[in-house]
Structure 1
Amino acid sequence: MTRQAPPNGTQTQSLPAGTPAHTPATDSARHGLIACHECDLLVRLPTLEQTHRLSCPRCKHSLGLTGERHLERALPLGICAALLLALSLMFPFLAFERAGVSNQMTLLQTGIALVQDGSLLLGALVLLFIILAPCLLVGCILLIACSLRLQRPLPGVKTAARLMHRLTSWNMVEVFIIGVFVSLVKIAGMAHVALGISLWSYLALAIVLTAAAGSLERISLWRRLAELEAPA
């Protein structure tokens, strides 16, 4: 058995060669084990309260963060994200005015307008990735955060944890915001454009969602959920 220090000084412990690396996520988390995604080395994680970045002792690949303190930020960030999402859906997103004729649209109307204009696939993708995916992501974060705060596993929390990590890769909030501002550069020369409350709320949502999902780091989250499921 060898013990090496990663570049940041946090100790990780590698298990003997031949130890099976592919174990269920909950069992691995319960025993403080994680398999390196690069070299498949099974590493025993240290128990830390403060947040530390861990590296594989063999290939130095980053294993992620460990620690318990950052999990506490998930609930307030999740509540903030839910409020920002509600504001984004309730208020006007953009307003246009040209030659005395004005028009405004909400975030939901952006996808519906594309569908009504004949762009069925594009409109469906907008509704899926811009509205539905963030709603599901916020719901997963709140369910996980409430479970951690109540110190007991709520129904569906493990499914929510798996879904959250998958949705993070498909969350297109930042891409949509960048696309909107790029389009505004061209539209501003043709009509007067007013930015609505929904746009600024959605911009803040992109930042808060990233912070909320980041606070529920995979290693610490599964370890904590395994502890909550363990018999007292």
Structure 2
Amino acid sequence: MEFPLDKRIACHCCDLLHEVRPLPPGGVALCARCGAILYRYKRNPLDRTLALALTGLILFIVANTFPFLAIEKAGLTRQMTLATGIFELYREEVYLVAALVALTTLLLPLVELCALLYVFAPLRLGRRPRLLAPVWRVMARVRAWSMMEVFMLGILVSLVKLASMATIVPGVAVYAFGALIVVLTAAFAAIDPHLVWEALEKH
């Protein structure tokens, strides 16, 4: 039976074409040939993705505005934000580490959040973003290189090592950054790629 091109999906493993059909809650569509997962049921993907992206943006601002760590030693307290930490690494001429921290904590998360809002806010309003295709590709590539979890693990290891030398007090930004990792992961998990493909095909 023939069905419209905009209602087809190709299996990413064996390239067999399937008809895209609505799924029941919790349903999963499998390839008839190889059994690979084609797509899953997602409840309110636009609303959920936008809500999580906005929450992530708020957490990003908090994580980069409030103190990240406070070091107490000999009665003196020094507070550091993510930006001051990057600046100190640069001043100590650890350029590569400073660049990696800046990418991990500032640039890549901001690009991901802006891309999510740029793509899904217009779609939620029934419009197609002008640069949908290139922004969608950039978002996919940035997501592949995002390593916020690795940075957070490095921070935890550093806290353990520095605990014997000074009193380390995690700031609000630490918790905001940890929550940002969870929120961004949830936002990308809530995305329904078919909404984007349909918008591209209509254009």
Question: Would you say same fold, with TM above 0.5?
Answer: yes
Number of residue-to-residue matches in the alignment: 203
Cα shift at 1:37: 2.4
Could you tell me which residue of structure 2 aligns to residue 55 of structure 1? 30
Could you tell me which residue of structure 2 aligns to residue 194 of structure 1? 169
Is 1:214–2:189 an aligned residue pair? yes
Is 1:152–2:124 an aligned residue pair? no
1:109 to 1:128, Cα distance in 2 relative to 1, 3 A: same
What is the TM-score normalised by the length of structure 2? 0.88
Could you tell me which residue of structure 2 aligns to residue 92 of structure 1? 67
Q: Contact 2:56–2:180 (CA<8 Å) still a contact in 1?
A: yes
Cα shift at 1:67: 4.8
Distance 1:71 1:199 in 2: 29
Distance 1:113 1:57 in 2: 56
What is the TM-score normalised by the length of structure 1? 0.78
| Structure 2 residues without counterparts, runs of 5 or longer | none
Distance 1:132 1:182 in 2: 23
Match of 2:92 among 114, 117, 125: 117
Cα shift at 1:48: 4.1
| Structure 1 residues without counterparts, runs of 5 or longer | 2-12, 16-27
Is 1:77–2:60 an aligned residue pair? no
Could you tell me which residue of structure 1 aligns to residue 102 of structure 2? 127
Distance 2:163 2:8 in 1: 54
Could you tell me which residue of structure 2 aligns to residue 102 of structure 1? 77
Q: Which moved more, 1:199-208 or 1:156-165?
A: 156-165
Q: Contact 1:49–1:69 (CA<8 Å) still a contact in 2?
A: no
Cα shift at 1:66: 4.6
